[in-house]
Amino acid sequence: MSLRYQISIRILLIALLILILGGSIAIWQARNSVNKEVDASVNLALQLIKLSAGTMTTDATEWLYRLSALEQTRHLNIQLKNPSGQVLDITGHQLNPDNTEDNPPKWFVNLVASDYPKVEYPIKTLDDTQMMLIIQANPLDEITEAWHESIAFFGSVVALVLLTFLAVQMVFNKALNAIATIVSSLQCIETGNYKKKLPHFATQEYDNIARAINHMIDVLENTRQQNRSLTQHSLKIQEEERQFLAQELHDELGQSLTAIKVMSAAAAHQGSDTKAITREISAICDHLMTVVRSMMQQLHPLILTELGLAATLEDLVNLWSERHSTMNLSLDYDDEAIEQLSKEATIQTYRIIQECLTNIVRHAQATEVIISLHRAIDSAQLHLCISDNGQGCHPEQITSGFGLLGIQERIKSLAGDFDLQSQPGEGMAINAYIPLAHQ
């Protein structure tokens, strides 16, 4: 069900409720008004009759005709009953029942009209004839006026409802056009088209939404560019590693194996110095073992699988301390927290620390580096903090390079959180919160 249809239905229901409530109030007021008007007319007629009956100088019938001609008695039926029982109607205010144009509907009359009492008042004529004056309410005039007033009232209400409905529809057309434009833009974003931007809207709320979506488009485009650059960089590194391994295999293993083959062939000849050849082959094998260990260390440190992350980090710290003697490198960790890391998290944590040390050596010019791994307070996460006392920088100035971007992607792949704190001349601190595996 569309928004336009829902609100239109609600407006019509509210208008109908207003009409029903207004109609009930109008009928109640009309009923009270008719009752008051009829009572006032009856009381007025009685007062006039009482005042005039004692000073009657004309025939009773003529006097009553003059009385009924007054405007105040238009809501009354006045009849005169002689001693013989004959009833003479002397008023002319009754409405024609057949005049449907002036008469209100019967249902309206039934709702407004009440049971009005019949008043009888005895009078004497000039010849001392005792007659009975009968006064009965005839509220049709007043009910007709109430009907016309109600028609005017409901007509005004219906006109206002229609104007309100048209105004709401005009506002809806404008609002729904803006919504259609926003939905169209979101559909373009869904397909990966980040070039189409939303225009400015006259309505502030829609303009705020448009600005937010345009900002989101810019962020998505930047993120896509970063991911594309990171993917290309990863492929480049992968190709360089393959090229390096191929070169190592060719230069070290290939040449060494060729030398071993030549020496083994030479050892087969009579008179060859077998002991010297054996020593040479043994030396070549030792060299090959060193090369293989180095290649395996670059691909994946076996100590990480065999002894765990703590021993691997200690070996890594010792290795970097030997290579960079001017840098004081310290390691502080919680064995229990480290052991709760999953296999994937263990490898990624090691790579994160390795990448951070590489960045510090290349860019930070730091003399002190602290690596800390502890369980986060009140959280099932490992808090990894790598801080240095290097030159530092403003975080927003870090726009190039793939080291930090790669670190962020590794942390995101573990559903962790990343935070970088740095100021020029105050070093840098990288905080990573990595979820621990459930035990």
Residues forming beta bridges with residue 387, ordered by sequence position: 370, 429
- Looking at residues 283-305, what average pLDDT do you find? 80
Q: What is the pLDDT of residue 429?
A: 92
Query: Which residues, 6+ apart, have CB-to-CB distance to 182 below 8 Å?
Result: 198, 206, 209, 210, 213
Domains of the chain are: 3-93+101-167 (no CATH), 301-435 (3.30.565.10)
| pLDDT at 324 exceeding the cut of 70 | yes
The Cα-based distances of 304 to 58, 197, 249, 346 in angstroms read 134, 49, 24, 8
Residue 66 has pLDDT above 50, yes or no: yes
CB-based burial label for 239 (10 Å; 0-12, 13-18, 19+): exposed
Residue 186 one-letter amino acid: L
Spatial distance between the Cα atoms of 79 and 68, rounded to a whole number of angstroms: 10
pLDDT for 96: 45
**Per the structure block, which two tokens stand in for 407?**
């670190």
CA dist., res. 65 & res. 126, Å (int): 16
Q: Are 70 and 49 in contact (CB under 8 A)?
A: no
Collapsing DSSP states into helix, strand and coil, what is residue 26? helix
Q: How far is CA 273 from CA 40, 263, 267, in A?
A: 149, 10, 7
| HSE toward the beta carbon, residue 51, CA cutoff 13 A | 7
Question: Has residue 432 got a pLDDT over 90?
Answer: yes
Please tell me the distance from the alpha carbon of residue 20 to that of residue 25, in angstroms, as a whole number: 9
Query: What CA dihedral angle connects 94, 96, 99 and 103, to 10 degrees?
Result: 30
In this prediction, residues 276-303 reach a mean pLDDT of: 81
**Does the structure show a pLDDT above 50 at 94?**
no
- pLDDT reported for residue 329: 93
Question: What one-character-per-residue DSSP string does 344-401 give?
Answer: HHHHHHHHHHHHHHHHIIIII--SEEEEEEEEPTTSSEEEEEEEE-S----GGG--S-
3-state secondary structure at position 103:
coil
Q: Is the pLDDT of residue 121 over 60?
A: yes
pTM: 0.50
- The DSSP 8-state label assigned to residue 249 in this structure reads I
pLDDT of residue 188: 84
pLDDT at residue 276, as a whole number: 86
Rounded Cα distance between 393 and 425, Å, is 7
DSSP letter at 71 equals G
Q: How confident is the model at residue 97 (pLDDT cuts 50, 70, 90)?
A: very low
For residue range 200-246, what is the model confidence (pLDDT) as tens digits? 888 888 889 999 988 888 888 888 887 777 777 777 777 777 777 77
Mean pLDDT to the nearest integer, 294-319:
82
What H or E segment, with its residue span, contains residue 29?
helix 3-53
Distance CA 205, CA 232 (A): 40
* Per-residue b or e along 76-96, where b marks 16 or more CB atoms closer than 10 Å to that residue's CB: bbbbbeeeeeeeeebbebeee
Highest mean pLDDT among 6-10, 118-122, 263-267, 318-322: 318-322
- Listed residue (212, 202, 199, 197) closest to 175, CA to CA: 202
- In the sheet that 381-388 helps form, which strands lie side by side, from edge to edge? 328-333, 368-375, 381-388, 428-435, 417-422
Whether the per-residue pLDDT at 34 is higher than 90: the answer is no
